[in-house]
Amino acid sequence: MQKRIILGGALVAALAAAAAWWTMRPQPLPAWITYGNGRLEATEVDVSSKSTGRLLTLTPREGDRVTAGQVVATLDAEDLAARLKALEAQVRQAREGAREAQAGVRQAAADAGLAAKVLARTRQLVDKGFISSQRLDQDRASVQSAEAGLAAARTRVAEAEASVAAAEAQVESLRATLLDSTLKSPIDGRVLYRLAEPGEVLGAGGKALTLLDTSDFYMTVFLPTAEAGRIAPGAPARILLDAWPDEVIPAQVSFVAPRAQFTPREVETRSEREKLMFRVKLRVDGDWLAANQARLNSGVPGMAYVSLEPQQPWPEFLQLHQSP
């Protein structure tokens, strides 16, 4: 009797399990829905040093959120500041030299004008016979000398102005380098990796942080030729993550590879052509992401579904629901 009760209980349990499986079994997808599996990813951005320097501060920790333009690190720039002061002094000196050269031009121009007037009076006196022509030759030589002095003065002005421009260019270059000693976040995002610590010397291009762009999450899937050929950028998609099996994430196709990723050596028969797989990138909807980006993590696996006929309705389990 006891054995019959045990067998009966086991039969009831088996029937209950079968009923649960039948109720929760995956429903067949409509013909216009294709799918693939992948991992949720986000664009990674490195914060790097443009020039060599010792890392003075590095504020964010892994997992911290940062905003675009936020100062995240600074490099020791005392030597650059000292060089900048020296170059600024050179600029002031060069400008003073340019002013002196311009004053020399004015003086040379006045001398040349005076020499020309003297020559004109000398011609009148020679024509009247009051002085000899020898004086006329001397005044002509004075005019030529004054004009040569004016030309030389103008050349000195051009050289002085070129020196000012060169010094100012050096100052601007060093100021830009000094600004580069302050590292700022280029995006709104989350710190994925902290790659250095204060006191370390970063070379040109040395990385201090790796940021996760939380405004750009996507999933890459691979689909066969027959289905990938019917997909265009902008096609609607849905993503279900293993971590949130009941949360339907809206997405769109942002890229379809123009060539196959997996190609057999010889493609001659239809069965071989069906082995061709194309990479398709699905970008998470921006509005949904703005409201839920704090919940997302890069690398979470899941399934992606793409509609080949956007006018057709989505199955019930892929219908969008209000996020909690």
CA distances from 310 to 33, 228, 314 (A): 10, 14, 9
Name the residue with tokens 């302050």. 182
Q: Where are the domains of the chain?
A: 28-62+196-318, 78-179
Percent above pLDDT 90 for the chain: 19
pLDDT, residue 282, reads 93
pLDDT, residue 218, reads 93
- pTM given for the model: 0.61
Bridge partners of 283, per DSSP, are: 218, 252
List pLDDT tens digits, range 249-263. 999 999 988 887 665
CATH topology of domain 28-62+196-318: Elongation Factor Tu (Ef-tu); domain 3 (2.40.30)
| DSSP code for 28 | P
pLDDT at 212 over 80: yes
pLDDT at 37 over 60: yes
Sign of CA dihedral 270, 272, 274, 277: negative
Residues contacting 59, CB < 8 A, separation 6+ = 71, 72, 73
Kindly tell me the burial class for residue 16, based on how many C-beta atoms sit within 10 Å of its own C-beta (0-12, 13-18, 19 or more).
exposed
Sign of CA dihedral 65, 67, 69, 70: negative
pLDDT, residue 263, reads 53
CA distance 319 to 285: 15
Closest among 103, 105, 104, 131 to 119, alpha carbons compared? 131
List pLDDT tens digits, range 154-176. 888 787 778 888 887 887 877 77
194 or 149, which is more confident?
Answer: 194
Angle at 103 between CA 98 and CA 107, to 5 degrees: 145
Which of the given ranges, 23-32, 153-162, 261-270, has the highest pLDDT on average?
Answer: 153-162
CA distance 291 to 215: 11
